[in-house]
Amino acid sequence: MVLAAAEDLSDPFEWPDAGVTRVPYRLFSDPEIYALEQQRIFRGPVWNYLCLEIDIPNPGDHKTTTVGEIPVVVTRDENGDVHAMVNRCAHKGALVCLKERGNSKTMTCVYHSWSYDLRGRLKGIAFRDGLNGKGGMPEDFDRDKHRLEPLRIEIICGLVFGTFSDETPSIESYLGEKMTASIRRNLGRPLKPLGMHSQIIHNNWKLYAENVRDSYHATLLHTFYTTFKINRLDMDGGIVMADDKWHHISFAKRKTLQESEEYQNANVHSAQYESKLDGPELLNTWDEYDDGITHSIQGIFPNLAIHSTLNSLAVRFFAPRGVDETELFWIYLGCEDDTEEQTNMRVMQGNLTGTAGLVSLEDGCINEFVQRGTRGSGDREAFIEMGGRDVEPSEASRATEVAIRGFWTGYRRIMGFA
Amino acid sequence: MVEAAPPIAPDSRVLIEDFLIDYAHAIDDGDLKRWPDFFTADGVYQIIPRESFDAGLPMGIMYCEGRGMMSDRVLALETANIFEPHTYCHILGRPRLNRDADGAFKARTNFNVFRTMQDGGGEMFAVGKYVDTIALEDGRPMLRDRRVVLESRRIDILLVFPL
């Protein structure tokens, strides 16, 4: 199904008059809208997260991923430059790179041995001149007209982004000043991988994009902190939004932390929280940043999030795997100069998030509950007015759904859903 | 390369096998309060994908150091965490046993875990191996270190109960 515009839908879609305070449930279950997203969003003017630079540290390294549903491979060439291209042979369309990670000088399709260099340029064709003077490609065959379909890439703080569109602005203007600054704060230093896993969530990818931006649900659905009487009432925070509205940061600060203390040498705050934990070392932490922000999650349109919770640092990438299925990747990071003690604290705090996260594991099922709850109700809509009806930043409160309204503002724009 | 295991006295093997089975049944029966008691006081428990385990990466999916963190886990899943009711059924392979210089057992045991949801649908949830160090305390086996190495790093929906 190739759809290019909203008018192509067999059942035309119109956004409700109440704007982004209403979200029709059809958006989560209509296969035609899902197909249109592949064109308008993932092949459109957005920066898609591809991988981390540390996934491909050496010349010849590659890493496969997906952009929307399109298989993509990212390579590092012999000069150290990074390239991205569709992982689809220019001949018959078979996958070229089969292994998720590997290292080689060229990439060769196993089907008919067409081989490509690390930039995706076609270099070799088996039996191009035929055998014994018979067969082979036509005389006017032009090797330069066949290559792996390239994506334009940009790298910021070790995050590799790719786009299919010539219209996508530079990554920094796409993100805007505030989003860029937050990425630099969290990831602008030599990073090292700590571990990775993924989970299949049985819901449309946009429900997770909403979930990441939903600062209203955090203390209601996720009751770990309150159950263990871990004091969070002293925390204030808010929502920062990009000018384009579709990216956001939700942040919180532990106000009780005194300025003078923050500059003391990497001291560990064991059990600063008056908790009822039997194993309070779960929350051992050190002052890693000097801005007082202890919890932040950043949503980057379309399907990336970055969290920095105490000292837990992770990239979350949620890849659509069908209209009602999404694969959520948890990519945990540390810094190259972390001490062993600091690495241990990051590992310990890893218990809070992820597939089995004490704080966040509910997110694995809550979006599925929405997917199931809205079945057969495509003509009904969600009501999203917490914090008002506007899409302006809410720098003093997180009891708001403004970042969700921001997501849909951007979504309507790029999908052409007036 | 796998080295030939030195012989384990039959009595010891039965002791360890019964212990491993008892652990699995405790979880399958929902008797999670017993779970920390299968470990030494400072025992370590980790669920980690094979890919990360083989690469020597420190971070997995669940990590506990000591019984305190384990009982926090149990209390959390019994009182705080929200998820659809489901049960596990562990199927264990025969463990391969070695003995450490200090008398502790090294055990490697393949497992399958089937998960049944409240709608009656069941499917294979996890496959992997336990890589264990088991100490004897007063003649009773106790897990000093259990690494649950998952063949799959892709978990369906979520992981609440320990494996």
| Structure tokens given for A310 | 């105490």
Written as one letter, the residue type at A335 is C
User: Is A203 found in the same domain as A114?
Assistant: no
pLDDT recorded at residue A219 = 77
Closest CB to A343 among B58, B63, B79: B58
Domain final position from A136, A155, A174: A155
pLDDT at B3: 60
Q: Are residues A133 and A67 in the same domain?
A: yes
Q: Specify whether A237 is located in the same domain as A302.
A: yes
In A204-243, the residues whose Cβ lies within 8 Å of chain B are: 221, 223-224, 226-228
CATH code (residue A320): 3.90.380.10
Q: According to the model, what pLDDT value does residue A265 have?
A: 45
Structural domains in chain A (count): 2
Residue A354 in contact with partner chain B when CB distance is under 8 A: yes
Question: Do A237 and A253 touch, CB atoms closer than 8 A?
Answer: yes
Residues of chain B with C-beta less than 8 angstroms from the C-beta of A365: 82-84, 157-158
The average confidence (pLDDT) of chain B is 94
What pLDDT digit, counting tens, does each position of A93-140 carry?
999 999 999 999 999 999 999 999 999 999 999 899 899 889 999 999
Q: Are residues A99 and A194 in the same domain?
A: no
CATH of the domain at A101: 2.102.10.10
Residues A210-235 as b/e (b if ≥16 CB within 10 A, e otherwise) read bbbbbbbebeeebbbbebbebeeeee
* pLDDT, position A271: 39
Which tokens in the block code for residue B73? 């886990």
Check whether A2 has a pLDDT greater than 70: no
Q: What is the largest CA-CA distance in chain A?
A: 83
Confidence class of residue A272 from pLDDT cuts 50, 70 and 90?
very low
Residue B82: which of B158, B155, B27, B162 has the closest Cα? B158
Answer whether residue A42 is part of any domain.
Answer: no
**What are the residue ranges of helices labelled H in A38-124?**
none
Cβ atoms within 10 Å, residue A301: 24
Q: pLDDT value at position B149? A: 98
Q: How far apart are CA B120 and CA A139, in angstroms?
A: 63
Q: What three-state secondary structure class fits A391?
A: coil
Residue among A282, A267, A192, A241 at smallest CA distance from A402: A241
- A107 in any annotated domain: yes
Share of chain A above pLDDT 70, in %: 92
Nearest CB neighbour to A356, from listed B57, B62, B75: B62
- The C-alpha atoms of residue B26 and residue B33 are separated, in whole angstroms, by 9
| Contact flag B79-A227 (C-beta cutoff 8 Å) | yes
Whether A63 and A201 map to the same domain: the answer is: no
Do A242 and A367 reside in the same domain of the chain?
A: yes
Beta strands, E only, A179-303: 191-201, 235-241, 248-254, 293-300
Query: Would you say residue A266 has pLDDT above 80?
Result: no
Q: Are A302 and A209 in contact (CB under 8 A)?
A: yes
Q: Is 90 exceeded by the pLDDT of residue A283?
A: no
**pLDDT grade for A236, boundaries at 50, 70 and 90:** confident
Please state the ipTM of this predicted complex. 0.94
Does the residue A198 lie in any domain?
yes
Q: Tell me: pLDDT of A274 over 60.
A: no
Across chain B, which distance is largest between two alpha carbons, in Å?
A: 49
Tens of pLDDT, residue by residue over A134-186, are 999 999 999 999 999 999 999 999 999 999 999 999 999 999 999 999 999 99
Same domain membership, residue A198 and residue A320:
yes
- Gyration radius from chain B CA atoms: 16
- pLDDT (0 to 100) of residue B109: 98
SS3 A219: helix
The model's pTM: 0.94
Taking chain B, what is the end-to-end CA distance rounded to the nearest angstrom?
A: 27
Statement to judge: residues A259 and A207 lie in one domain: yes
* Among B155, B156, B157, beta carbon nearest to A197: B155
Mean pLDDT of B54-70: 97
Last residue of a domain, one of A135, A155, A175: A155
Is there a domain that residue A37 lies in?
no
Per-residue model confidence as pLDDT tens digits over A31-71 = 999 999 999 999 999 999 999 999 999 999 999 999 999 99
> B102-156 pLDDT, tens per residue?
889 999 999 999 999 999 999 999 999 999 999 999 999 999 999 999 998 899 9
Q: In CATH terms, is domain B10-150 a member of 3.10.450.50?
A: yes
Confidence of residue A259 (pLDDT cuts 50, 70, 90): very low
Domain containing A102 equals 48-155
pLDDT at A222: 85
Give the up-direction half-sphere exposure of residue A210: CA atoms within 13 A in the CB hemisphere. Answer: 26
A269 and A129, same structural domain? no
Same domain assignment for residues A102 and A199: no
Q: Are residues A272 and A327 in the same domain?
A: yes
Residue A202 confidence class, pLDDT cut points 50, 70, 90: very high
pLDDT band at B1 (very low <50, low <70, confident <90, very high): low
Mean pLDDT of A6-29: 93
Regarding whether A321 and A394 lie in a shared domain, the answer is yes
Q: Is residue A291 included in any domain, yes or no?
A: yes
CA distances from residue A23 to A20, A46, A318, A384, A407 in whole angstroms, order as listed: 6, 22, 20, 8, 11
Taking CA–CA distances from B44, the nearest residue in chain A reads A348
Q: How confident is the model at residue A7 (pLDDT cuts 50, 70, 90)?
A: confident
In the block, which residue shows the tokens 């921001």?
A: A406
What's the residue count for chain A?
Answer: 418
